[in-house]
A and B are shown apart, each in its own frame.
Chain A
Amino acid sequence: MSFEIPIGPQHPALKEPISLRMTVEGEVITDVDIRLGYNHRGMEKLAEEKSWLQNIYLVERICGICSHSHATCYVQGVEKLMELAPPKRGMFIRYLVSELERVHSHLLWLGVAGHEAGFDSFFMYTWRDREVVMDLLEMISGNRVHYAINTIGGVRRDLDAGQIAKIREGLVVLRKRSEYYFHIGANEPSFVGRIAGVGILPLEKVIALCAVGPTARASGWARDVRKEDPYAVYDEVDFDVATADSCDVLGRVVVRVKELLESYKICEQFLDKLPPGDIAVKAPRKAKPGEVVSRYEAPRGENIHYIKANGTDKPERLKVRAPTLANYPATMEMLRKGFIADIPLIFAAIDPCICCAERTVTLIAAGSGEESVVRMSDLRRRAIARHQNAPVKRNAVWPL
Chain B
Amino acid sequence: MLNKLARWSRIKSPWILHLNSGACNACDIEIVAALTPRFDVERFGILLKATPRHADVIIASGPVTRQMRDRIIRIYDQVPDPKFVIAVGACAMSGCVYRGAYNIMGGIDQVIPVNMYVPGCPARPDAIVDGVVKLLGKL
A residues contacting B by CB (< 8 A) are: 9-10, 12, 15-17, 37-43, 45-46, 49, 57-58, 61-65, 67, 108, 111, 123-124, 127-128, 130-131, 134, 144-146, 353-356, 384, 388
Contacts and interface: CB of A to CB of B under 8 A. Distances in A.
A145 B33 CA distance: 11
A356 B26 CA distance: 11
Contact of A128 (B21, B37, B75): B37
A58 B62 CA distance: 14
A272 to B, nearest CB: 30
Interface string B32-59: 1100111000000000101110000000
A38 B71 contact: yes
Contacts of A131: 33, 36, 38
A6 B104 CA distance: 24
Contact of B100 (A15, A46, A111, A353): A46
Contacts of A10: 19-20, 52, 71, 75
Given A10-B19, A45-B101, A63 B25 contact: yes
Nearest to A111: B36
Contacts of B48: 12
B22 to A, nearest CB: 5
B104 A38 contact: no
Contacts of B100: 46, 49
A16 B20 contact: yes
A130 B19 CA distance: 23
A349 to B, nearest CB: 17
Given A40-B65, A355-B23, A15 B97 contact: no
Nearest to B50: A12
Interface in B71-98: 71, 74-75, 78, 96-98
A384 B68 CA distance: 13
B37 A41 contact: no
Most buried by A among B19, B50, B101: B101
Given A39-B22, A144-B124, A64 B27 contact: yes
A130 B32 CA distance: 12
A131 B37 CA distance: 9
A135 B48 CA distance: 25
A127 B101 CA distance: 34
B101 A42 contact: yes
Contacts of B107: none
Interface residues of B, number: 42
A9 B22 CA distance: 10
B103 interface: yes
A355 B24 contact: yes
A19 to B, nearest CB: 9
Contacts of B21: 17
A49 B97 CA distance: 12
B24 A46 contact: no
A29 to B, nearest CB: 20
B112 interface: no
Contacts of B26: 61, 63-65, 67, 145-146
Nearest to A36: B67
B109 interface: no
Nearest to B78: A388
A41 B22 contact: yes
Contacts of A15: 18, 20, 25, 28-29, 32
Contacts of B121: 61, 146
Nearest to A145: B26
A43 B98 contact: yes
B52 to A, nearest CB: 7
Nearest to B52: A10
B72 to A, nearest CB: 9
B97 A57 contact: yes
- Which 5 pairs show the lowest CB-CB distances between chains A and B? A64-B26, A127-B36, A64-B25, A12-B50, A42-B101
Contacts of A17: 20-22, 68, 71
